[in-house]
Amino acid sequence: MRSIRVLVIDDSALMRKLIPQLLASDPGIEVVGTAMDGLFALKKMEELKPDVVTLDVDMPRMDGIETLRRIVAEFGTPVVMLSSLTERGATLTLQALEIGAFDFVTKPQDAISVHIKDIAEELIAKVKAAFENPLARLRTRKVESTTVPRERKASRTTRTAEQVLAIGISTGGPNALSYLLPRLPANFPAAILIVQHMPPGFTEMFASRLNTNCALEVKEAQDGDLVVPGRVLIAPGGRHLKIKRLPLGTIAVISDSAPVNGHRPSADVLFRSAAAEYGSSVTGLIMTGMGADGAEGIGEIKAQGGMTIAQDEKSSVVFGMPKSAIERNYIQQVVSLGDLHGFLMNHYLGKEIAHGTATCC
């Protein structure tokens, strides 16, 4: 198998030296060139024809966002963004994902130090995943572009949820959730709990952006938040999300315990907690993402009598997480992203509005 040809775009001379060194540690990757800004990069795209691009999100002259737009429109090459752990970095990164970036990696705040090596494994994995899924961005954008009229948000009930929908998702998740959640109505009867693999500082902004486009209330989970119908709680970046059923209602529990499957937050942690507290009243949904996080936890939901669903391969940016759960025989239904809202509406409200198919496992 030939090497993956990568073009590195970054305005920092230091990063143009360090990132190729990190990528070169994997024999399956060849850095074919670097560029200091978007204008140089577009010329090198024509010349070098890379398989994958790494792109700094914040650059002078032609910035990362405009460069990404041009790469998406003119070349269709998968792009992995490199972002700073700042509010501006988070804003630009979420915008990049909406435009069509494959995924992102955050740089350490002290990038000059040896801590830059901490991102090597993640960056290499995402470059490889981008290469192996070259059509994923196009599939995601085609689905995500559909617009949905928004309903007026209903006054939020304080009645504790009798049913819970727990979702685990990673690479490709922001666009997938931006497609799914606005299609669910304000009277959706279950509480929705989500683990989206993101670093600290990103999930609050992501939840806020979703909240403006959804009839449901969407927020980053905080310790003690009530788990109620029609509310979506997204695990905060860098922290686990669990739930606890108490006599006066169910609450969110935020934990700083050790990473699970290399992740914090972890879908396994959420799924196991939901299964323990709600048993057969939990629906587990595992969506697009790299790796196997959530596979064993969703197995516990199935063992407790809950419904288990996986996003199908065709609509997943990366099929790793759903595939891992399917291969363990933990999934009862495999559903495309385009049909998920209809499937969930039928499951919870008895309204059959799906137009595609769901596959029984």
Catalytic (active-site) positions: 170, 197, 293
CA 135, 128, 325, 103 torsion-angle sign:
negative
CA atoms of 114 and 279, how far apart (whole Å): 46
Q: Which long-range contacts (CB under 8 A, 24 or more apart) does 342-349 make?
A: 343/309, 344/165, 344/184, 344/188, 344/283, 345/184, 345/185, 347/283, 347/307, 348/163, 348/165, 348/188, 348/189, 348/190, 349/188, 349/189
| SS3 call for 27 | coil
Q: Are strands 333-335 and 358-360 parallel, antiparallel or unpaired?
A: antiparallel
CA atoms of 223 and 78, how far apart (whole Å): 37
CA distances from 242 to 194, 204, 361 (A): 10, 17, 28
Q: Is 210 exposed, middle or buried (0-12, 13-18, 19+ CB in 10 A)?
A: buried
